[in-house]
Chains A and B, each alone.
Chain A
Amino acid sequence: MRSVRAFWRWLTSMRTALVLLLVLAIAAVPGSIFPQRAVSREAVQEYIDEHPDLAPLLERLWAFDVYASPWFSAVYLLLFISLVGCLVPRLRQHVVNLIKPPPDAPARLARLPHSTTRQVGQGPTEAADAVRLALRRSRWRTAQRSQADGTVTVAAEKGYLKETGNLLFHFALLSLLVGLAWGSWYGWHGNRLVVAGDEFCNTLQQYDEYGLGARTSADRLPPFCVTLHDFTAEYLDTGQPIRYAADVSYVEDLGEAPRSWTLQVNHPLRLSGANVYLIGHGYAPVLRYTDRYDQVFTTTVPFLPVDGMLTSQGVAKFPYANVPPGQTSADPPAQLGLTGVYQPTANPDPAVAASIFPAERDPVLTLTAWQGDLGLGSGAPQSVYALDRRQIALGRLTEIDTRTLRPGESWTLPDGSTVEFLGTRPWVTVSIRHDPGQGLMLFGAGAVLVGLMVSLSGKRRRVWARIRPTDDGGSLITLGGLARTEYPGFADEFARVVAQVGGSPPPEREPAGVGDPGGRGGSASPAVDQAKG
């Protein structure tokens, strides 16, 4: 039990929190060094392929999923537990401070960093009322106490907002954690590529890649369908894009008339229950293959851009090509595959397959034909953007020839079949996302900022006045001030308070306990003061 208590004390101490903050900062670094699955699965796969020796070890250390790793989570959860352990007592203390009157004046006001003495003609009670009124006009919280010997003290405190802001800031950080968790449990997302002219609806089967939160299910996805009509991009002469616009139409309820929307990078389509974002774009060549038996296959194959000038690569597969009439199944040795490089604006050097401009000024498609077993029958998953390398290595898929085509041109292969390049259609990638935690995150972030500003600009300070009756019916007011936080302007504020209290400096002979105006002597004792007087 004692050790538990000791651990709790250790965890909630400021030193531990500081260490945890530093550890959190350092723990976040590896995620910017190694590719992260949450950011790009492709980059992670590429890294694993390039570093076959190192990758398994890194994998075991969660280096590719740093921000979802147990050790990263452990750091921030410990930090938040430490935070709660620190905040709850502070909140309780702050509430007590807000309810209880400011504490009574210390015995020797002259020992405070700021102190002075004033003489007024009123009696102690009237003088105390005047002091209190002056302080309250400047929004000080005051408390008045009377003592048996006729002395009256006024205690005043200001700057409670500092701690309020501090607590707001830290509780708002907690709300961010809640918002994050809420979003990951009940949120979902899907990404897909849409070719102009195509439509997709919001079901998981329609997404190339998706993620469902732990507390949501596929049948809860809102029903909507989106059609991409066209995509336009504008570029400067340098090739730098200046505008992307996707014309889409959508229906949120089946049977309702479609509405149109221009989807742009900073202009998502916000539907009820999901948002649609424009993420990427490219070209999809349209190819027509007429096989030896005059069967016609037309396919639109999205090519993936490999550089900023949209040089794009892709592959077209025709598994059912060259099937003799009467045969019902595919004929693997006669299957056809086309790999291609598309340049929207052909490089002047024919030997270089790198586009010189991202728009279609001089489009050319360089195709390589491959004949043989595409390997689709094996059941193993295959990329739609590449041919099966194993089949090529095994000699089951052989290269026939390479040809460069412009739109409308056709190419007759040695077996008499023809490939025609009909042109291209633009495609876009869209991300469809729902994050119900977002509202809380925004609210929490706003509270973080407000709390921070209030906390950093707030100054907690206290002023006390001890009012003693004098023989002539007036009062002697001793004022003391203490800034409890960094506040260089406090001397001025204290002087203003003194000015509002009014009165005049007392005559030479001072009674005990009265300090020199603005005296800072840390070791000054009443005896010393008297000696000085």
Chain B
Amino acid sequence: MAELSDTLLLVAAVIYVAAMLGYLVEFAFGTRGAVARVATRPARELVAVGAPVGASGVDIVSPVQPDQPVREGGTTPAPGRTGVAGVIGVALTVLGLAVHVGVLVTRGMAAGRVPWGNMYEFVVTLTAVFALGWIVLLALRPTLRPLGLFVTGAQALLLGFAGLVLTTPAAPLMPALQSVWLKIHVSAAAAASGLFLLAFVPAALYLIRAGYDVRSRPAVAGSGATESGVSESDASGLAADGTPAPRVVGFPYSLGRALPAADTLERLAFRLHAFAFPIWTLAIICGAIWAEAAWGRYWGWDPKETWSFISWVAYAAYLHARATPSVKRTTATWFAVAAWLTMVINLYVINFVAVGLHSYAGLD
């Protein structure tokens, strides 16, 4: 059963990679994709010239840019040959998740316990939550499909690393982990981590998209582009001679072209973080209750505890920044990105480097 589980992990990783390729085809060659855009550039530029929407100076509510290629809230991505690639990507993601769940089930059967007792199993569990969250999100908002490339990319990376480096034989738990709190504390931590990862995707992509919006705005002599995501309603996309001045947007901001609108990504990132944060809080509280029973104190500044506290404070800072009108949305989102970085440090650096009581990783 343990071997079956290991094989299934490989299968799941391969399926996710295949799904990623599907999303990639759509991302690059789709009607909104980078390649397609290059192919249709003359037409697009014509549109931009012919539609100086901002000229009236009235539209202050919607941040639609004259140049903005993507603005189709509520409609599914355009069908077509590349759309099929995206649909295949989604189907493969679902299949990958099914196999992924199979990895956990067989692992649990092999070990005779819940399948999140060491670092390898923790990563497999959190990525399963990540994939499940993505599928649910996609079912609710089909327009988010371009994000699938990044979701499955992260997924393949994490699972590959888990399978190659973290893997440990299935075994019963050491005495310190034999508690009902393992089921609650670790599953909450894995769920919150998976959801924070899912939230990180639109957060990072929002920064790219917002950066793209700023950088792709036609340059005007004497006026620098502002950082803010809110559109400027000046019609000065036109240079002195009346032609738009196209600007070259460098990587990674060039990715922004095929992404959903900035405010869509930003709102999604916020809602996902707001959903994950109480789960993370629950994980920390359950951990404290468990620590009291196992080690005699509810909080002892063990490195793992310290970093989960740091992550909690960082995410709290993001939620506060997001709720403060005077803080720019891009600034607030950088908080979220930094907070995710602390989660990564807690999982990948602390487990390897620090000596603590949370020595469940089974890496020695």
| A binding-site residues for B, Cβ under 8 Å | 14-15, 17-18, 21-22, 24-25, 28-29, 31-32, 36, 38-39, 43, 66-67, 189, 236, 238, 240-244, 264-268, 275, 277, 279, 308, 431, 433, 435, 438, 441-442, 445-446, 448-449, 452-453, 456, 486, 488, 520, 522-523
Contacts of A189 in B (CB 8 A): 296
B154-169 residues with Cβ-Cβ distance < 8 A to A are: none
Determine if A520 and B178 form an interchain contact, defined as CB atoms under 8 angstroms apart.
no
Determine if B301 and A36 form an interchain contact, defined as CB atoms under 8 angstroms apart.
yes
Separation of A523 and B179 alpha carbons in the complex (Å): 61
Stretch at the interface among B78-86, B97-105, B125-133, B286-294: B286-294
CB nearest to B331 among chain A residues: A18
Known: A266-B293, A435-B297. A449 touches B285 (CB 8 A): yes
Separation of A448 and B280 alpha carbons in the complex (Å): 12
Using a Cβ–Cβ cut-off of 8 Å, how many residues does chain B contribute to the interface with A?
A: 56
Does B313 interact with chain A (Cβ within 8 Å)? yes
Contacts of B313 in A (CB 8 A): 21-22, 24-25, 28
Looking at the complex, which one of B271, B277, B307, B355 makes contact with A486 (CB distance below 8 Å)?
B271
Q: Supply 11 further A-B pairs (C-beta < 8 A) apart from A240-B172, A265-B176, A267-B293.
A: A17-B320, A21-B317, A28-B313, A39-B302, A39-B356, A265-B294, A266-B176, A431-B296, A445-B285, A456-B274, A520-B61
Does B150 interact with chain A (Cβ within 8 Å)? no
Q: Mark B164-193, 1 if CB is under 8 A from A, else 0.
A: 000000011111101101000000000000
Q: Enumerate 30 A-B pairs (CB-CB under 8 Å) in ascending A order.
A: A14-B320, A14-B327, A18-B324, A21-B313, A21-B317, A25-B317, A25-B342, A31-B306, A32-B306, A32-B350, A39-B301, A242-B175, A265-B175, A266-B175, A266-B179, A266-B290, A267-B293, A277-B296, A433-B296, A438-B292, A438-B298, A441-B288, A442-B289, A445-B288, A446-B285, A448-B285, A449-B282, A449-B285, A456-B275, A522-B60
Looking at the complex, which one of B290, B314, B354 makes contact with A25 (CB distance below 8 Å)?
B314
Known: A22-B317, A522-B60. A243 touches B282 (CB 8 A): no
Known: A31-B306, A243-B175. A38 touches B317 (CB 8 A): no
Determine if B178 and A486 form an interchain contact, defined as CB atoms under 8 angstroms apart.
no
Looking at the complex, which one of A18, A275, A488 makes contact with B327 (CB distance below 8 Å)?
A18
Determine if A15 and B326 form an interchain contact, defined as CB atoms under 8 angstroms apart.
yes
Contacts of B171 in A (CB 8 A): 236, 238, 240
Q: Mark B311-325, 1 if CB is under 8 A from A, else 0.
A: 001101101110010
Q: How far is the CB of B299 from chain A (nearest CB, A)?
A: 8
Determine if B327 and A240 form an interchain contact, defined as CB atoms under 8 angstroms apart.
no
Determine if B60 and A452 form an interchain contact, defined as CB atoms under 8 angstroms apart.
no
Q: How far is the CB of B240 from chain A (nearest CB, A)?
A: 30
Contacts of B143 in A (CB 8 A): none
Contacts of A268 in B (CB 8 A): 293, 296
Q: Mark B109-134, 1 if CB is under 8 A from A, else 0.
A: 00000000000000000000000000
Determine if A449 and B278 form an interchain contact, defined as CB atoms under 8 angstroms apart.
yes
Q: How far is the CB of A113 from chain B (nearest CB, A)?
A: 9
Contacts of B282 in A (CB 8 A): 449
Looking at the complex, which one of B173, B181, B297 makes contact with A433 (CB distance below 8 Å)?
B297
Does B253 interact with chain A (Cβ within 8 Å)? no
Separation of A533 and B136 alpha carbons in the complex (Å): 44
Does B58 interact with chain A (Cβ within 8 Å)? yes
In the A-B complex, the 10 residue pairs with the smallest Cβ-Cβ separation, listed nearest first, are A277-B296, A21-B317, A266-B179, A25-B313, A32-B303, A265-B175, A431-B296, A32-B306, A445-B285, A433-B296
Contacts of B173 in A (CB 8 A): 242
CB nearest to A68 among chain B residues: B301
CB nearest to B58 among chain A residues: A523
CB nearest to B297 among chain A residues: A433
Determine if B277 and A452 form an interchain contact, defined as CB atoms under 8 angstroms apart.
yes
Separation of A28 and B310 alpha carbons in the complex (Å): 7
Contacts of A448 in B (CB 8 A): 281, 285
B230-259 residues with Cβ-Cβ distance < 8 A to A are: none
Contacts of B314 in A (CB 8 A): 21-22, 25
Determine if A279 and B296 form an interchain contact, defined as CB atoms under 8 angstroms apart.
yes
Looking at the complex, which one of B288, B290, B320 makes contact with A18 (CB distance below 8 Å)?
B320
CB nearest to A30 among chain B residues: B306
Determine if A264 and B278 form an interchain contact, defined as CB atoms under 8 angstroms apart.
no
CB nearest to A235 among chain B residues: B174
Separation of A279 and B44 alpha carbons in the complex (Å): 70
Determine if A266 and B294 form an interchain contact, defined as CB atoms under 8 angstroms apart.
yes
CB nearest to B286 among chain A residues: A445
Separation of A58 and B224 alpha carbons in the complex (Å): 47
Determine if B324 and A456 form an interchain contact, defined as CB atoms under 8 angstroms apart.
no
Does B200 interact with chain A (Cβ within 8 Å)? no
Determine if A456 and B317 form an interchain contact, defined as CB atoms under 8 angstroms apart.
no
Separation of A394 and B69 alpha carbons in the complex (Å): 84
Known: A14-B320, A39-B300, A449-B282. A29 touches B270 (CB 8 A): no
CB nearest to A456 among chain B residues: B274
Contacts of A445 in B (CB 8 A): 285, 288
Does B348 interact with chain A (Cβ within 8 Å)? no
The residue among B58, B285, B296, B319 with the most chain A CB atoms within 10 A of its own CB is B296
Separation of A264 and B176 alpha carbons in the complex (Å): 9
Contacts of B356 in A (CB 8 A): 39
Separation of A529 and B282 alpha carbons in the complex (Å): 51
Determine if A242 and B174 form an interchain contact, defined as CB atoms under 8 angstroms apart.
yes
Separation of A156 and B324 alpha carbons in the complex (Å): 25
Separation of A265 and B178 alpha carbons in the complex (Å): 8
Does B295 interact with chain A (Cβ within 8 Å)? yes
Separation of A266 and B355 alpha carbons in the complex (Å): 21
Determine if A452 and B303 form an interchain contact, defined as CB atoms under 8 angstroms apart.
no
Contacts of A308 in B (CB 8 A): 364
Separation of A294 and B297 alpha carbons in the complex (Å): 49
Separation of A242 and B163 alpha carbons in the complex (Å): 25
Determine if B310 and A25 form an interchain contact, defined as CB atoms under 8 angstroms apart.
yes
Separation of A433 and B296 alpha carbons in the complex (Å): 7
Known: A15-B326, A433-B296, A453-B278. A264 touches B175 (CB 8 A): yes
Separation of A39 and B355 alpha carbons in the complex (Å): 11
Determine if A67 and B317 form an interchain contact, defined as CB atoms under 8 angstroms apart.
no
Separation of A267 and B179 alpha carbons in the complex (Å): 9
Contacts of B303 in A (CB 8 A): 32
Separation of A6 and B310 alpha carbons in the complex (Å): 30
CB nearest to A442 among chain B residues: B289
Does B71 interact with chain A (Cβ within 8 Å)? no
Does B328 interact with chain A (Cβ within 8 Å)? no
Separation of A388 and B290 alpha carbons in the complex (Å): 41
Determine if B298 and A523 form an interchain contact, defined as CB atoms under 8 angstroms apart.
no
Contacts of A441 in B (CB 8 A): 288, 298
Q: How far is the CB of B64 from chain A (nearest CB, A)?
A: 13
Determine if B294 and A28 form an interchain contact, defined as CB atoms under 8 angstroms apart.
no
Does B267 interact with chain A (Cβ within 8 Å)? yes
Separation of A374 and B301 alpha carbons in the complex (Å): 39
Separation of A32 and B349 alpha carbons in the complex (Å): 11
Q: How far is the CB of A487 from chain B (nearest CB, A)?
A: 10
Q: How far is the CB of A426 from chain B (nearest CB, A)?
A: 15
Q: How far is the CB of B75 from chain A (nearest CB, A)?
A: 16
Q: How far is the CB of B319 from chain A (nearest CB, A)?
A: 8
B35-88 residues with Cβ-Cβ distance < 8 A to A are: 58, 60-61
Determine if B306 and A28 form an interchain contact, defined as CB atoms under 8 angstroms apart.
yes
Separation of A210 and B49 alpha carbons in the complex (Å): 78
B324-364 residues with Cβ-Cβ distance < 8 A to A are: 324, 326-327, 342, 350, 354-356, 364
CB nearest to B324 among chain A residues: A14
